[in-house]
Structure 1
Amino acid sequence: MKPLKLALLLGSALIALSPSAFAQTKGGVINVATIGEPPTLDAMASTADLVGIVSQHIFETLYTFDKNWNATPLLAASLPEVSPDGKVYTIKLRTGVKFHDGTDMDATDVVASLKRWTQIASRGKQVASLITSIDVVDPATVKITLNAPHAPLLSLLAFNNAAAIILPSEKQQSPMTEPVGTGPYKLKERKADQYIQLSRFDDYKSPEGEETGYGGARHQYLDEIRFVPVPDANTRVEGAVAGQFDYVDSLPVEAYARLKDQKTTEAVLLKPFGWPVFVMNTSAGITKNQDIRLAIRDSLSMEDMLAAAFGSTDFYSLDASLYPDGYSWKTDAGTEGAYNVADPEKAAELMKKAGYNGEPIRILTSRQYEFHYKMAQVAAEYLKAAGFTVDMQVVDWATLTQRRADPKLWDIYISHSPFLPEPALIGAMSTSAPGNWDTPARKVAVDAFNSEVDPAKRVALWAEVQKVIYAEVPIIKIGDFNALSAKSPKLEGFTPAPWPYFWNVSLKQ
């Protein structure tokens, strides 16, 4: 099951920028401008993309994704051996892998880490009830036993979001007290709101094979990587133009024209990137009521929100399906009459049915992703036109990720997601993710989808899941968008990716 369009784009990027086309040399320090300060470096404990971008250089998972979004071994030696009934995964581990503290990684560390993942990570909690046991077979082999087949397990183990990172068995504390991983770079210094400085891990053991997406060989050309929080989008643009940063993440698309003719920086456009999403609080507050959620959705103009956020249709498109053209998951199931409705009278009828009495709709957003904020402004006006009272709370991204964990503090929060290779990776598919969508209809549809291993049947079952999402509104898709970032012409070997990474990257001498 491959998301073909993105796979082709990433594949062509790999060909165009392959380090084999030139000799790369070791040395140098790069500065990477990010949208802000990550709330944690514990990749298990957060679903924030910013956490994954930084932490993937420090920590590694058993598997990752190649350029075609297929799972490929990372700390594992090979893809798992799966029993005929789909319930037992036997995983061989690479040997000779060291942690940053100098200890050797073995099956004991992997078992302890996977158990921690099922306890604190939303992705791990998603499968915890299905896991009967996680056992050491021998020092280089672990076994995961399920009580029912679960097709997304391998993708969940490969994902860098609420990730199943492998830690030393002695360093499993939560909250994390010491970020020790097996990655190509280790934490050197962190100064809050100033930088996170990573240095080359000299004892790193790279996977073998050609570089392919996040998989294959990971070369450590750079001496250090410095992640610098730059919350203001315009400041990030100016930093790119000034040549202050070697890579600048998440830029407003209106900056594209300015970037494309600069000598100090180059525009990087990832198309298609993903979808903005309004996440609804289904477990507490006013949006616990399904009719209120339907009223919110039916009051909104997705077209106006996208236009405000991205300006030109070169950077966005209206699309109700949770996956765009080119993906096997693309379906219009459940979307008819339920997208880009912008009908205040229809919304008012639903509000009356729900007994709405002027309670404020608390919208949680951040200007660090400027397009989130612009969509929130437009949404607020449409909600007011339907008769809602709106309380828009604009906070920094780290505060937003903290607040969304407490259902008492919000009704809607605005986020976005890249198009993911496996729909089970979408945050709302986990009942423990912020929003806590957990209904009988969700359980029937999602359980059927997750337990089916036949790819063709899973496509049809995903259509049923999308129907339930549109019927119950745990999330609201706004549309599709392209992502803009910028990189220095001095960077060699960089491959555009949803979560930018800097192994295999060098500085032109």
Structure 2
Amino acid sequence: MRFVNRSRLPGTGNTRAVPRAAGRILVAGVAMLAATMAHAEEKTLTAVMHSGLRMLDPIVSTAHITRDHGYMVYDVLAAVDGDGAVQPQMAQWDISDDRLVYTFTLRDGLKFHDGAPVTAADVVASLKRWGARDGAAAFLMAATQSIEANGDTTILWTLKEPFPLLLEVLSKPSSVPAFIMPARVAATPADTAITDYVGSGPFVFVGDEFQPGVKIVYERFDDYKPRAEPASGLAGGKVVKVDRVEWVTMPDNQTAISALMGGEVDLIENVQIDLLDIIKSSPDVTVETRDPLGYQVFARMNFKHPPFNDVRIRQAAMAALGQEQVMATMIGNPDYYRLCGAIFGCGTPLGSEAGSESLKAGGDTGRARQMLKDAGYDNTPVVIMQATDLGIIGTVPVVIASALREAGFKVDLQGMDWQTLVSRRASMKPPAEGGWNIFTSFVSGIEANTPLINPILPSTGDSGWFGWPNDPELEAMRAAYLTAPDLDAQKAVAHQIQAHVLDQVIFIPLGNYPFVQARSNTLNDMLPTAVPVFWNLTLAD
């Protein structure tokens, strides 16, 4: 356990001032002593997350670090437990016999961080804003007749037609969870980031100590009332057993490892694979993989601007790429990666690898070059954004740039930090005016394993995901998935989507890998969730 003096100025190492009189020295000394004594018993957990945090709106941004922030500050109506079942979180529900009316009733004791009670009006406003942003929620909202408050604690959700997956969409754990905010905050337009960060979750965001991209601080919300059930997955009682959580940014993994082994930090969310031997040598550290489904690396092209507004040129680019080159460069150790062309995940119920043969075979430069020539490529520069502060992920754009150059593309590889990339990928401007042509990222298995919730699939033009493909055929397939009567029918639709996505190059799957976590042995009882959460865990003295 480390001791924290909250009177420390953000970004400084001490609280000292140089007084002009001895009396002022005495007063300052007494104040510092009082502050130190007041907080001497606080338990502070310090974590190095996979990325710095700049964007604080978990509805506007699909970045995982922003989602993780959302789970600290906000709560949800329903959540998925450790067995994948949907469970009540903020609310219970009843469903009418005709499956058209869902009645949600808020549980007692829900409060926002400013002391105001959580009401049905807050829920309605939050759901409507979420529904305007999320790809899966868009289908749900299209089937919705109304969402209305009936008093302070009851929400009536009325459908035009049955939507069997309503609770699955409402409880989906990632990209984008249906976080509940105060109505005044949820009134913010869905395409505008919020500036008021009051939630009702187990932690309070400490705005005065926020250093964008460097440090973010949370304190336990003492008025949070956990559910009575044991924590399971993202459901159950969110019992916070530490006073304070600090996320700090350390772009250099070796620095982070030294800090963990030296007891300065408690957790590294994502350890660089080629440095594992260093950290495994410490008897005070545990190395583990949290999520068996892992993460899929992918490349996304911009469909709005040349050259990738032409499907033939997208196909030529995909022909040039191979998963082995990407994974070998990114991970190195084959024990920690898997070549997998299934957009819904290899080994999952809906997984298929149709159309990924060239990717798994290693790419074909000669074929890609001929395809590029046949498509009439005019040497338009390809701007590839590279996140230089995201560890191993930063190597992927370098491999892509090299492969595309060999195939005959003119490439402009531009380095930036991840949060700048996350902001820039939202720009629809031409690449020469601050836009882009390709970026790479990763998607977790829990958010990519069905056509409904996979965040990269929505292909509705400007209202879709970054890159903005406009593909009515793909959207019709996704809609067909919703009405498929059984798992076999769902598989048939999912396999059609797999083939279509790779034929049209909606995105390019580049291999799978795990997040390998390292934690101090003083940190225990972390829930085995794909989303890192900071309730339930304990921090020993």
TM (normalized to structure 2)?
Answer: 0.84
1:184 and 2:197 matched: no
The runs of 5 or more residues in structure 2 that have no matched partner are 1-40, 430-434
SS in 1 for 2:113: coil
Alignment partners' CA distance in 1, 2:240 and 2:302: 42
How far the C-alpha of 1:121 sits from its partner, in A, is: 4.8
Give, in whole Å, the separation in 2 of the partners of 1:106 and 1:488: 40
Aligned to 2:338: 317
| Contact 1:322–1:330 (8 Å) recurs in 2 | yes
* Alpha-carbon contact 1:298-1:343 (below 8 Å) kept: yes
- Of residues 85, 93, 106, the one that matches 1:93 is 106
Contact 2:359/2:510, CA 8 A, preserved across alignment? no
Q: Which residue of 2 aligns with 1:440?
A: 472
Q: Structure 1 vs Structure 2: percent identity of aligned residues? A: 26
Q: Does the 8 Å contact 2:338/2:513 carry over to 1?
A: yes
- 1:35 and 1:233 in contact (8 A); partners too: no
SS in 2 for 1:486: strand
1:306 aligns with 2:320: no
Secondary structure of the corresponding residue to residue 294 of structure 2:
strand
SS at match of 2:132: helix
Is residue 184 of structure 2 the alignment partner of residue 170 of structure 1?
yes
Residue pair 2:397, 2:439 contacting (<8 A) in 1 also: no
* d(CA) in 2 for partners of 1:126, 1:229: 37
* Aligned 1:41-120 pairs, distance under 5 A: 41-78=56-93, 81=95, 84=98, 87-120=100-133
**1:345–1:183 distance in 2 versus 1, CA, 3 Å:** same
Q: Which amino acid aligns with 2:247?
A: F
Tell me the matched-pair count: 482
- CA separation in 1, counterparts of 2:394 and 2:216? 26
- Distance in 1 (CA, whole Å) between partners of 2:439 and 2:428 is 11
Q: Aligned partners of 1:258, 1:280: CA distance in 2, in Å? A: 37
| Structure 2 counterpart of 1:428, one-letter code | I
Match of 1:419 among 437, 445, 468: 445
SS at 2:397 equivalent: helix
Q: Indicate whether 1:465 and 2:497 are aligned.
A: yes
**Is residue 297 from structure 1 mapped to residue 318 from structure 2 by the alignment?**
yes
- Would you say 1:366 and 2:384 are equivalent positions? no
Which structure 1 segments of 5+ residues have no match?
A: 1-25
Matched, 1:39 2:54: yes
Choose between structure 1 and 2 for higher RCO, CA contacts under 8 A separated by at least 6 residues.
1
SS of residue paired to 1:287: coil
Output aligned runs, 1:398-413, within 5 Å: 398-408=419-429, 409-413=435-439
8 Å CA contact 2:387–2:418 kept in 1: the answer is yes
What's the counterpart of residue 205 of structure 1? 225
TM-superposition CA deviations, 1:224-277 (whole Å, max 9, x none): 111112233333233223222111122211122111221342212234412111
Post-superposition Cα deviations, 1:137-173, rounded to whole Å, max 9, x if no partner, equal 3433223334455455433322343332111223335
Q: 2:458 aligns with which of 409, 430, 436?
A: 430
CA contact (8 A) 1:298 1:340 kept: no
Amino acid at match of 2:56: L
Does 2:308 match 1:284?
A: no
After superposition, the CA RMSD in angstroms is 2.2
1:249 aligns with 2:269: yes
Residue 316 of structure 1 aligns to which amino acid in structure 2?
Y
Q: Which amino acid aligns with 1:181?
A: G
TM-score (norm 1): 0.89
Instruction: Tell me, in whole angstroms, the C-alpha distance in 2 between the residues paired with 1:284 and 1:323.
Output: 27
Asked if the contact 1:27/1:507 (under 8 Å) is kept, the reply is no
> Structure 2 CA distance, aligned partners of 1:320 and 1:129?
31
Q: 1:152 to 1:353 in 2, by over 3 A?
A: farther
175-184 or 428-437, larger mean C-alpha shift = 428-437
